[in-house]
Structure 1
Amino acid sequence: MNGTTPPHSIGSLSARTGIPVRTIRFYSDTGLLPPTRRTRAGYRRYDDAALDRLRTIAVLRELDVGLPTTRRVLDGGLSLTEVATAHADATELQIRALRTRLSLLRRIAGRGSTPEEITRMHRLTRVASDERRRLVADFLGGLDAGTPAAQSAVAALRTAVPSLPDEPSDEQLDAWWEITELIADDAFRARLAQAELPPADEDALAGTAPEEAADLLRFARLAVTAAMDAGTDPEGDQAVPVVDAVVARFAAALDRPDDDELREWMACRLEVGHDPLVARYWRLVWTVNGWHVVPGHLPFQPWLVTALRTPRPRSHGRRRPVRS
């Protein structure tokens, strides 16, 4: 400044930037913000370039850039682009961790988890993606299918491995946690290993002509899928007209009374290959993997079996249908 004293004292820099005097003095003492010159009395003075340097330091520190990296940027040894790219990646990882933590806290608050459950859920959120894949692979590899039909079911399971994305939604995290709870359950693993693939519609109703069986199952699928899409509880009152309509159609087609015996006969045949807990596992896999649920594609049988076996008064009296 042509021999004149630079205009800014540490107090002036603090007033202009809002940075505490102690912090500015620390930057100056460590050489990050060297004074432009000193007065005869030894006081530090800074020019406008130093003021701009201090503002840059403040921005980098606000972004959690460390002091060594900040020094390299100021000295020209590292570009702002390189620093921004590296810290953008680091910030993205922090956001993912915070999103996972938020989901964990919401889950704990919503279900009144025990200390053991909290510890387990926290551990699961810290499991890396390769460890998650190994966890599922070990589970599927350990399934011991005892029958040819069960072997086919296990083979199908191994083609659809749940894979939690790097940025899961709350719904995907919830589904992942439920999957880990299921695959840790010995009883569920036994059920899954013995689960058979469902028969084709034309083969599902033993003793019924294939075309007639396929037609009945198509009718049931349409009626039940609509109820499922509407969120109807199979054990609730709103399920009554749905299940009554399906049973009436079966009774008329099979020339049987609409009674408890027919309903149990239907339930026994429809539950083959449709374990409700296994169906739940499949739905969770779809959620974790972010697969689009095609209307009418998910199994309707578990819903209908539950509705058929729920004790309650029906919307019409028992009668023996008459074929038209």
Structure 2
Amino acid sequence: MSTSREVFWSIGELAERAGVTVKSVRFYSDRGLLPEASRTGGGHRRYGPEALEQLRLIRSLRALDLPLPEVQRVLEDDDAAGRVLEDAVAGRLRELGSELRALRWREAALRLVRESPSAERADRLRLLGAVSTPPNTAPLARFWRAWLPPRMPARETAAFLEVAVPQPPDEPDPAQVLAFARLHAMTTAPCPPGRQPQPEVHRVAGARGAAVLYAGLAEAYELAGPQLRRAREPYPGEALDAYVAAYASAYGTRDSREFRRLLAGRLAAEPRLDRYWELTAVVLTPPGGRPEPTPGAADDWLRAALERENAEAA
């Protein structure tokens, strides 16, 4: 029952106390988010302290940029309010992270255009215009899926894509933006007529043989990585043995001097993806940092080691 000590405010008084507009109070009230204490004989709304507390909470939640449906869920479910708020904040943080990445990408792209020579500006704008913001790696993944043998096991395919598809940096510099844009253009260009997407030296192993091959190559690349970081010249050793063993296992044969000569000849005859790996290295290298070895760089190093070994054996 109401007493003379109870405080009631008009919609304008409530808005003034909460520091919001009358329009906002009316909007939230119409949505059922503000409890009305009573109405006057003329139908005017009256609000009590509970509405002021609720309105201040709404204002705080909206200041965090939470969408209204999430605010409504927090207010309506007292028992689960903490969990609902936690989920809403976590979701908004993810969205903000994506927005910040997009802004950093746009900033680096604008710097790239500003720093580009006038003769190259139009071409670079065309490259940048084809890339989403923030950039999407799906075209690169599709390129490699077409390159891989059909019916290759999903787990092995996923493992290969993880190392073959570079993730765009969260805070790129103009060179990284340009490299990724060129990778996008390269991987979305039509394949020349009559060319097999995958090298013959890989394709003949079949889907299951290719899975064995790529697992072995990953091990060989990892072993070669420290040598590349030290800028050592290619040489025969453990990494090369793992490299050759990967091909021998995929072909169902054994490692031998003759096999190494045949393998070197087959590898030398295959088309190269050097440009892809060069661009990947730029994307993955932080400004002023030392480039991490890519699978392409490791493969080049191991091929050179194989050729050196064969030459020395001859």
When normalised by structure 2's length, the TM-score is: 0.49
When normalised by structure 1's length, the TM-score is: 0.48
Larger radius of gyration, structure 1 or 2?
1
